[in-house]
Structures are given as C-alpha cells and as structure tokens.
Structure 1
C-alpha cells in the first residue's frame, strides 16, 4: 500500500471511532455538530465522492488510447455517479447558498430539500428503499460474492474487466466489516452518517487500488 492510502484508512478509522465514542460521551455534540447536515462528517463524505469522480475522469483521459468504448463508458458512468452522490449529499449546494426549494420538493421531499434521495413516492421513502434495503443487498453481493465469482469463472472475469468494475481485495472487505461493527456501537439515530462516510472512502480507496488493478494501469499495455 502507498503511504497516502494507509494514511487515508487511518483517518477513516479515527473519524469512525471518534463518532462512536463521542456519541456516548455527548450525544448532543455528536448529532448536532459532528454528524449534522453540512457538518464535518458530511463534508468529508463529499470530498471522498469528488476524489472518486476526478479519479474516474482522469482514468478516461489516460486509458482512452488503450481501452474499448464499453470500458471507457462504464468508467464515465462511475465518475458521474460519484459526482451525483456528492451533489445529493449537499442538496446540490442549496443549504450552502441559501436557495429555497421548489413547491415540488417542499411537498414530496421528507426534508423539504432539493435532492432525490429524500423523496417520498407513494408513501415510500426513496432513501430507505433504494439507499437502504436495495443498496445493502448490492453491497453484500459486491463485496462477498462478486470477487469469488471473478476468481472462479473466466467469463465473469472477462465481463467485469471489460466493464471496468473495480473489485475489492480481502483487506477492503475486512475494512468495511470493521466499519459496520463500529457503527453498531454509535448511540442515537445517526449511525448512517458514519457508515456512509466510511463506506464512501473505502470504496474510493478500493477504486484507486482494486484487486484487478492491472486493467486500470497504462503499464500493462505495449506502446
């Protein structure tokens, strides 16, 4: 591992532990300052998403001569998802700039903000359905099942590599499981903020140096 990567994991661990311990020492501080909207943890999450976005578009620029259209397109989509996540996290700058939500979002958004993940459709919160249940299932499949299939089935390996899907190492899997354990010790109702923060940074760091790292490196190509 590079020293910067190690430092990033240490920071993620320290922030997560600070949240867990701080929530028991002073729950008001944890929920009202540390993990609040537009607070310290949220902006670290946004930073991670933007770093992931920049990484994806940088890869497109350096791998364009070497990789096919599907590979580059999937990398572009991942970069857009990172950017979308960053925008959603801060309600597209609405709170920072003091912009009033439209009538639609005031009516259909659980927080009255301009974002999609807090929308309520047919009485169901999108955040709970998509970013809770469905995302949890996808994360479990991605971290626990997909790496196994990649190692055992050649066709799966070919598909994953052609679609530029970064795969976790055992270290990344262990880091995420440790994060889940830490968040379970957080008092109050704001466990998700730490899980989101840590999950974003683990995924971004994994995207930097995944198990199938060679498909993202120019050093693997003849010139």
Structure 2
C-alpha cells in the first residue's frame, strides 16, 4: 500500500473518531456543525465521490483500447453512480444556487429539498428503505460474499472481471467493519453521515488497489 493510501485511511478514521468523541461530549456541536447539511463531513463525502467518478472515467479512457465494450460501459456506469451520489449529497446544487424546490419535492421530501434519498412516499421513507435496508444488504453482499465467490467460483470470477467490478481485499473488509463498529459508538441520531463518509472513501481507495487489480492495469495486457 503506497504512502498516500495509508495517509488517507488514517484521515478517514480520524474523521470517524472525531465524530464518536464529539457526539458523546458535545452533541450540539456534532449535529449542528460537524455532520450538518453542507457541513465538513458532507463536503468531504462529496470530494470522495468526485474522486471516484474521475477515477472511473479516466480508467475507462485509458483501458478502452484494451478491453471489451461491456468492461468500459460498466466502468463508465460506476462513474455515473458516483456522480449521482454527488448530486444527491448537494441536492443537485439547490442550496448552492438557492433554487426553490418544486411543489412535488416540497410535499414529498422530508427536508423539502430536490433529492431522492429524502423522499417520503406514503409512510415509506426512501432513505430508510433504499439507502438504508437495501443498500445495507448490497454492501454486506459486496464486502463479505462476492470476494469469497470470486476466489472459489470461476464462472463468477469471469463475470465479475468482464463487468469491471472492483472487489475488496481483506484489508478493505476489515477497515469497513471497523468503521461500522465506530459509528455504533456515535451518540444521537446522526450516525449515517459518518458511515456514509467513511464508506465512500474506503470504496474509492479500494478502486485504486482492488483484489482484482490486474484487470484494471494496462501492464497486464499484451500489446
């Protein structure tokens, strides 16, 4: 692991530990400043998402001559997912440019903002269902099950490699589990902001050194 990666992992956990300590000693500061909308943690999350998007688009560009169309399309799609995350985090620039929400979002968004993750349909909170329960299942499958299947089932390995899905190493899995454990120590109701920040950065750092790193390296191709 290169020095910059080590520094970034230390930084991620420093931010998380500050969240744990401050939430238990000064909850008002934690919720009203540290993890508030447009606060420090949210913008650090946005930066992570932007880095992930740029990395995917750059990777698609340099690997286009060497990889099948499916590989490139999936890489670009992952970059677009990162960009979607950026848009959702900043409510698609609404607060930055002081744009008024439409009537639909004023009525159906729990914060009256132009984003999907705070929508409330009937009594169903999209944030809790999609970005909580469903995303939690997907993250658990991704970190705990796919790496095992990748190592043991050749058909799954080939499919994952063809679809350009970067997989976590054991180190990334441990890092994420530690992050989850830390967020459980946070007082109050704003644990998700720290988990979101840390999860984004762990995934982005994993992009640069995944379990299946060889498929993303030009050095592995015959010319």
Q: Same fold (TM over 0.5)?
A: yes
Give the TM-score normalised by structure 1. Answer: 0.99
SS at 1:206 equivalent:
helix
| Counterpart in the other structure of 2:103 | 103
- 1:122 deviates by 2.8
SS at 1:118 equivalent:
coil
Q: Counterparts of 1:25-40 in structure 2 under 5 Å?
A: 25-40=25-40
CA distance in 1, matches of 2:24, 2:138: 31
Runs of 4+ with deviation above 6 angstroms: none
| Counterpart in the other structure of 1:190 | 190
CA distance in 2, matches of 1:11, 1:77: 28
CA distance in 1, matches of 2:71, 2:149: 20
- 1:208 deviates by 1.3
CA distance in 1, matches of 2:69, 2:125: 36
CA distance in 2, matches of 1:3, 1:119: 41
Which sections of structure 1, spanning at least 5 residues, go unmatched?
none
- 1:123 deviates by 2.0
| Counterpart in the other structure of 2:23 | 23
1:61 aligned onto 2:61 = yes
CA distance in 1, matches of 2:22, 2:110: 27
CA distance in 2, matches of 1:154, 1:122: 44
CA deviations on 1:4-33 (whole Å, 9 max, x unpaired) are 111110000100000100111110000000
1:178 aligned onto 2:178 = yes
- 1:211 deviates by 0.4
SS at 1:45 equivalent:
helix
Give the TM-score normalised by structure 2. Answer: 0.99
CA distance in 1, matches of 2:69, 2:102: 39
CA distance in 2, matches of 1:19, 1:120: 28
| Counterpart in the other structure of 1:75 | 75
Which sections of structure 2, spanning at least 5 residues, go unmatched?
none
Q: Counterparts of 1:1-223 in structure 2 under 5 Å?
A: 1-223=1-223
CA distance in 1, matches of 2:119, 2:193: 18
More moved, 119-128 vs 135-144? 119-128
